[in-house]
């Protein structure tokens, strides 16, 4: 099979950039990816042959990878927004002067691809040719990144053709940061130590430089780096939105469609909600996207969303036929698994998968494992990569270049207390206030401590590519532009716990009951009671048919206690204080309104 060389690139600026990067990184070889199945198969075989990947006979076309134990998640501490001024990056981002950062990183990139191949990955975020789509070119020395990008984005020759000789693209340079000396044995997951990792964004130049990690959002640069950090900054300038949101379509028994976009922090339930199977009769849900939404105002004044991705990079632990059957069916074949347990019969397993755990297996660290040996079989941030087209409930319109008109925005997070199951905002501004003050307990999706409460506005804390005060203002401006066509805003919390630590709400497919209430609210068909936080349903307002949640649990789930919220206000004030005069006045007045409602 032929591998295209640089000669196939007819875009002088692109070619010059690739040559410049190659001169710095000194790979042994350059391969331009064509995005074909043959290319995917060739690279997968190469990784199997050198022992990086393990084939999974139980899942045709699928393989398992085990990462280095130091390289298991995004690294927020080592992620930078290198805008020209610190103020442009704002108080929530790590900032370094771009020129200073480039000096540091050039030294790291120097010779970093020695002994390796540099792959040139032309990819489109969004359907090729859609006017919302954007082209990126990722240069990487990781074949794992290439096969994952094949699934997660639209890779191939068509993208290069679309660029022509002068089309716009976002350059994304990636290296695992592990040059290979002649005769040196490669490790099965080469990467650089944590203190050498850099995930860097240059928003004014629309440039991404990533070094040292091969995992997820650190390395698959179309996802968080391009589709969120760079795109959010471009969206601010151009008047559109790039959000950390799933997109789903709910169809009611009369055939009326509602499109819902929901922002929850990493590992807080987006993939699950995106594919939910309602436990109530009559309503149908279909998936459009599970992580990112790009949204523009259409000619009719409504907000249209596309999913810029082409695959799912989903959290494996907790995924089961019981919790998320549609995800389970999406990963039966042609999937990549990372940091899951390998069973003796050539399958993968993770904590809380259906049925009994296997009697024996090889854990994510490559060690012998038996149930109860005190180790986790899969890493808590173990992931599957699977084509979105394999999801049985993927919406027929998921690749429609014009997108779907959003009716409902949902914000949320993991809160063991304080926040009710669901609340509706009193206005769009109040919805922006809810989103901007969203808080959640931290998860294993980032390297760092797990379970600490932090403010994660619109689930964008790690993903906003510019000053978050300006981002809040952008939300308010979008609301003004949309006027009465703006989506209605809600806030949910699937994660409230009883004093003895049990989930009060069954979650997953039963979350459709909450979505149904939202849709009925949009149509003015159902009641709710006003609380200081927002409009909250009474238990009788939600369809609880066939569900046996005890009445006292429902009461707890729907309770909003002013005394508790008075304490919450202190946390919100501290959070808002960070933004200084960048805090939009209308959010400050929303805080005043909240205080008045608390009394
Ligand atoms: P990222 O891919 O990191 O952005 O995560 P995500 O937001 O897509 O989260 P995901 O749907 O993968 O869920 C993460 C974890 O939360 C999994 O272990 C799920 O089982 C669990 N989870 C999801 N939805 C619910 C729910 O409704 N209730 C409870 N209790 N757990 C849930
Ligand atoms: C997230 O952390 O929100 C993810 C996983 O979707 S990663 O792609 O690694 O960012
Ligand atoms: Mn995510």
Give the torsion sign (CA, 139, 143, 148, 153): positive
Q: What is the mean pLDDT of residues 305-315?
A: 98
Q: Does 141 lie in the same domain as 106?
A: yes
Specify the pLDDT at position 132.
87
Alpha carbon dihedral 87, 91, 93, 96, in 10-degree steps, equals 50
Which CATH number covers residue 375? 2.170.8.10
Task: Kindly state whether residue 68 falls inside one of the protein's structural domains.
Answer: no
Ligand 1 atom index nearest CA of 319 = 20
Distance CA 563, CA 56 (A): 54
Phi, psi of 408 (to 5 degrees): -135, 130
Q: What is the mean pLDDT of residues 320-335?
A: 98
Residues in contact with ligand 2 (CB, 6 Å cut-off): 74, 216-217, 223-224, 266, 291, 313, 445
Residue with more model confidence, 576 or 6: 576
pLDDT tens-place string over residues 68-113: 999 999 999 999 999 999 999 999 999 999 999 999 999 999 999 9
Calculate how far, in angstroms, residue 504's C-alpha sits from the geometric centre of ligand 3.
Answer: 24
Q: Is the pLDDT of residue 598 over 80?
A: yes
Calculate how far, in angstroms, residue 74's C-alpha sits from the geometric centre of ligand 2.
Answer: 7
Q: Is the pLDDT of residue 1 over 80?
A: no
Neighbours of ion ligand 3 (CB under 5 A): 266, 291
Specify the pLDDT at position 131.
84
pTM of the model: 0.98
Domain enclosing residue 367, as ranges: 311-390
Nearby residues of 480 by Cβ (< 8 Å), 6 or more positions away: none
Q: Is the pLDDT of residue 530 over 60?
A: yes
Nearest C-alpha neighbor of 387 from the set 338, 331, 337: 331
| CA triple 558-561-563, angle to 5 deg | 170
Q: Is the pLDDT of residue 511 over 50?
A: yes
Ligand 2 atom index nearest CA of 315 = 5
Task: Kindly state whether residue 484 falls inside one of the protein's structural domains.
Answer: yes
* 450-to-33, 412, 414, 447, 454 alpha-carbon distances in Å: 38, 17, 12, 9, 11
Nearby residues of 259 by Cβ (< 8 Å), 6 or more positions away: 247, 248, 249, 250, 288, 305, 404, 405, 406, 407, 408
Q: Is the pLDDT of residue 499 over 70?
A: yes
Q: Does 475 lie in the same domain as 344?
A: no
Q: What is the mean pLDDT of residues 264-284?
A: 96
Share of the chain above pLDDT 70, in %: 99
Q: What is the mean pLDDT of residues 268-276?
A: 98
Among candidate residues 206, 238, 270, the one where a domain is terminated = 238
Q: Provide, for the chain, the percentages of residues in helix, strand and coil under a 3-state DSSP scheme, each rounded to the nearest 5.
A: 30, 20, 45
Closest ligand (CA of 513): 1
Which CATH number covers residue 278? 3.90.228.20
Among candidate residues 328, 355, 390, the one where a domain is terminated = 390
Q: Does 588 lie in the same domain as 448?
A: yes
190 pLDDT tier (thresholds 50, 70, 90): very high
Q: Does 178 lie in the same domain as 260?
A: no
Q: What is the mean pLDDT of residues 165-174?
A: 98
Calculate how far, in angstroms, residue 71's C-alpha sits from the geometric centre of ligand 2.
Answer: 13
Q: Whose CA is nearest to atom 14 of ligand 1?
A: 267
Given the residues 21, 268, 519, 532, select the one marked as catalytic: 268
Q: Does 204 lie in the same domain as 271?
A: no
Ligand 1 atom index nearest CA of 495 = 30
pLDDT tens-place string over residues 427-475: 999 999 999 999 999 999 999 999 999 999 999 999 999 999 999 999 9
Average pLDDT, the chain: 97
Task: Kindly state whether residue 25 falls inside one of the protein's structural domains.
Answer: yes
pLDDT tens-place string over residues 111-132: 999 999 999 999 999 998 788 8
Residues in contact with ligand 1 (CB, 6 Å cut-off): 264, 266-272, 290-291, 314-315, 317-318, 323, 445, 494-495, 503, 507-508, 511
Q: Does 445 lie in the same domain as 327?
A: no
Which CATH number covers residue 107? 3.40.449.10
Specify the pLDDT at position 258.
98
Q: Is the pLDDT of residue 139 over 60?
A: yes
Task: Kindly state whether residue 61 falls inside one of the protein's structural domains.
Answer: no
Q: Does 427 lie in the same domain as 287?
A: yes
Q: Does 439 lie in the same domain as 344?
A: no
Mutate to test the pocket of ligand 1, among 318, 419, 441 (most ligand atoms within 8 A of CB): 318
Among candidate residues 238, 264, 286, the one where a domain is terminated = 238
**435 three-state secondary structure:** helix
Q: Work out how many domains the chain is built from and give that number.
A: 3
Task: Kindly state whether residue 67 falls inside one of the protein's structural domains.
Answer: no
Q: Whose CA is nearest to atom 8 of ligand 2?
A: 217
Q: Does 297 lie in the same domain as 378?
A: no
Active site residue 287: no
Q: Does 415 lie in the same domain as 453?
A: yes
Q: Whose CA is nearest to atom 22 of ligand 1?
A: 269
Task: Kindly state whether residue 554 falls inside one of the protein's structural domains.
Answer: yes
Quickly list DSSP for 330-375: HTSSS-EEESPEEETTS-EE-TT-SSSPPSSEE-TTS-EE-TTSSS
Mutate to test the pocket of ligand 1, among 74, 248, 269 (most ligand atoms within 8 A of CB): 269
Q: Is the pLDDT of residue 3 over 60?
A: no
Q: Does 466 lie in the same domain as 405?
A: yes
Specify the pLDDT at position 129.
79
Task: Kindly state whether residue 418 falls inside one of the protein's structural domains.
Answer: yes
Quickly list DSSP for 527-583: --EE-SSSEE--GGGS--TT----HHHHHHHT---HHHHHHHHHHHHHHHHTTGGGS
2 pLDDT tier (thresholds 50, 70, 90): very low
Specify the pLDDT at position 4.
67
Q: Does 193 lie in the same domain as 341?
A: no
Task: Kindly state whether residue 65 falls inside one of the protein's structural domains.
Answer: no
């Amino acid at each position: 099979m032929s591998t295209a060389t640089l000669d196939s690139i007819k875009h002088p600026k692109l070619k010059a950039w690739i040559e410049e990067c190659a001169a710095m990184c000194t790979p042994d070889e350059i391969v331009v990816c064509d995005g074909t199945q043959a290319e995917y198969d060739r690279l997968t075989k190469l990784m199997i042959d050198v022992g990086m990947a393990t084939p999974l006979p139980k899942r045709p076309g699928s393989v398992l990878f085990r990462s280095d134990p130091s390289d298991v998640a995004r690294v927020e501490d080592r992620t930078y927004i290198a805008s020209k001024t610190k103020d442009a990056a704002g108080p929530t981002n790590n900032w370094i002067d771009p020129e200073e950062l480039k000096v540091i990183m050039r030294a790291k990139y120097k010779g970093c691809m020695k002994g390796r191949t540099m792959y040139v990955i032309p990819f489109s975020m969004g359907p090729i040719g859609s006017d919302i789509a954007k082209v990126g070119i990722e240069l990487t020395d990781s074949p794992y990144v290439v096969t994952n990008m094949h699934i997660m984005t639209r890779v191939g020759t068509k993208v290069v053709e679309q660029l022509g000789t002068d089309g716009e693209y976002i350059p994304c340079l990636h290296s695992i940061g592990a040059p290979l000396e002649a005769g040196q044995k490669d490790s099965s997951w080469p990467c650089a130590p944590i203190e050498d990792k850099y995930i860097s964004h240059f928003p004014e130049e629309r440039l991404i430089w990533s070094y040292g990690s091969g995992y997820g959002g650190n390395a698959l640069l179309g996802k968080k780096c391009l589709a969120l950090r760079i795109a959010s900054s471009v969206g601010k300038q151009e008047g559109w939105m790039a959000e950390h949101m799933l997109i789903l379509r709910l169809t009611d028994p009369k055939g009326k469609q509602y499109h819902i976009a929901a922002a929850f922090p990493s590992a807080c339930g987006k993939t699950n909600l995106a594919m939910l199977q309602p436990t109530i009769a009559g309503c149908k849900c279909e998936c459009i996207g599970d992580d990112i939404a790009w949204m523009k105002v259409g000619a009719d004044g409504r907000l249209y969303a596309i999913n810029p991705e082409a695959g799912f990079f989903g959290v494996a632990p907790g995924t089961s036929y019981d919790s998320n059957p549609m995800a389970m069916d999406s990963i039966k074949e042609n999937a990549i698994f990372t940091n899951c347990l390998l069973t003796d019969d050539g399958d993968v397993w993770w904590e809380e998968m259906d049925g009994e755990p296997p009697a024996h297996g090889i854990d994510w660290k490559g060690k012998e494992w038996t149930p109860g040996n005190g180790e986790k079989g899969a890493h808590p941030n173990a992931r599957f990569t699977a084509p979105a087209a394999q999801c049985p409930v993927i919406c027929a319109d998921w690749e429609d270049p014009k997108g779907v008109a959003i009716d409902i925005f949902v914000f949320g997070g993991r809160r063991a207390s304080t926040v009710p199951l669901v609340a509706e905002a009193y206005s769009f501004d109040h919805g922006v206030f809810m989103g901007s003050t969203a808080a959640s307990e931290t998860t294993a999706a980032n390297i760092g401590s797990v379970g600490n409460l932090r403010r994660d506005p619109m689930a964008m804390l790690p993903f906003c590519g510019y000053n978050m005060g300006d981002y809040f203002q952008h939300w308010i401006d979008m609301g003004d532009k949309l006027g009465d066509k703006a989506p209605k805003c809600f806030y949910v919390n699937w994660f409230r716990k009883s004093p003895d630590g049990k989930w009060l709400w069954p979650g997953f497919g039963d979350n459709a009951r909450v979505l149904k209430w939202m849709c009925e609210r949009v149509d003015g068909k159902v009641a709710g009671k006003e609380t200081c936080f927002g409009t909250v349903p009474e238990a009788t307002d939600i369809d609880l048919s066939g569900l046996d949640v005890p009445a006292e649990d429902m009461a707890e789930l729907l309770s909003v206690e002013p005394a508790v919220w008075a304490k919450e206000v202190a946390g919100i004030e501290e959070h808002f204080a960070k933004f200084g005069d960048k805090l939009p006045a209308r959010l400050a007045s929303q805080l005043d309104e909240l205080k008045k409602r608390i009394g």
